[in-house]
Amino acid sequence: LLGAGCKKEEDFSEWYQNVITRSEMIDYYDISGCYILRPWAYSIWEQIQAFFDAEIKKLDVQNAYFPLLVSEKALTTEKDHIEGFAPEVAWVTKSGDSQLADPVAIRPTSETIMYPAYANWIRSHRDLPLKLNQWVNVVRWEFKRPVPFLRSREFLWQEGHTAFANKEEADEEVFTILDLYRRVYEELLCVPVVKGVKSEKEKFAGGLYTTTIEGFIPTNGRGIQAATSHALGQNFSKMFNIEFENDKGTKSLAWQNSWGLTTRTIGVMVMVHGDDKGLVLPPRISPIQAVVIPLHFKDSDTTAVDSKAKEIADQLKAAGIRVNLDNRPNYNPGHKYNHWELKGVPIRIEIGPKDVASGTVICCRRDTAEKSKVEISNIVTGVKELLDNIQSNLFDRAVKQRNDHIVTINQWNEFVPALDNKNLVLAPWCEKVSCEDSIKKKSSEESKNKAEEEKGFCLTGAAKSLCIPLQNQEHVKLPEIKDDTKCFCCQEKATKYTLFGRSY
Ligand X SMILES: O=C1CCCN[C@@H]1CCCn1cnc2cc(F)c(F)cc2c1=O
Interface positions with ligand X (CB under 6 A): 82, 85, 88-89, 108-109, 140, 159, 204, 228, 230, 258-260
Measured from the CB atom, is 89 or 147 closer to ligand X? 89
Q: Which of 141, 415, 390, 356 is nearest to 281 (CA)?
A: 390
The answer to whether residues 324 and 39 touch, using CB atoms and an 8 Å cutoff, is no
The answer to whether residues 220 and 12 touch, using CB atoms and an 8 Å cutoff, is yes
Q: Which of 365, 354, 342, 340 is nearest to 295 (CA)?
A: 354
Which residue is nearest to ligand X, using beta carbons?
260
Smallest separation, CB 224 to ligand X (Å):
15
Measured from the CB atom, is 260 or 344 closer to ligand X? 260
Smallest separation, CB 194 to ligand X (Å):
18
Smallest separation, CB 229 to ligand X (Å):
8
The answer to whether residues 139 and 152 touch, using CB atoms and an 8 Å cutoff, is no
Smallest separation, CB 111 to ligand X (Å):
6
Measured from the CB atom, is 2 or 75 closer to ligand X? 75
Measured from the CB atom, is 199 or 324 closer to ligand X? 199
Measured from the CB atom, is 152 or 228 closer to ligand X? 228
What number of helices (H) and strands (E) belong to the chain? 15, 23
Residues facing 133 on adjacent strands = 63, 160
Measured from the CB atom, is 89 or 197 closer to ligand X? 89
Smallest separation, CB 204 to ligand X (Å):
5
Smallest separation, CB 322 to ligand X (Å):
31
Continuous segment of H or E residues that includes residue 467: strand 464-469
Question: CB count, 10 Å around CB of 211?
Answer: 26
Smallest separation, CB 143 to ligand X (Å):
12
- Helix 379-403 vs helix 264-273: angle between axes, to the nearest 10 degrees? 90
Coil, helix or strand at residue 58:
helix
- CA dihedral for 190, 191, 194, 197, sign (positive or negative): negative
- Residue 129, preceding bond cis, omega within 30 degrees? yes
The answer to whether residues 213 and 185 touch, using CB atoms and an 8 Å cutoff, is yes
Measured from the CB atom, is 259 or 415 closer to ligand X? 259
Cα–Cα distance measured from residue 230 to residue 234, given in angstroms and rounded to the nearest whole number? 12
Smallest separation, CB 424 to ligand X (Å):
22
C-alpha of 391 from chain center: 17
Measured from the CB atom, is 78 or 306 closer to ligand X? 78
Rounded (5°) CA angle 74-262-278: 150
Measured from the CB atom, is 59 or 407 closer to ligand X? 59
Smallest separation, CB 139 to ligand X (Å):
8
Residues facing 375 on adjacent strands = 360
Question: CB count, 10 Å around CB of 426?
Answer: 23
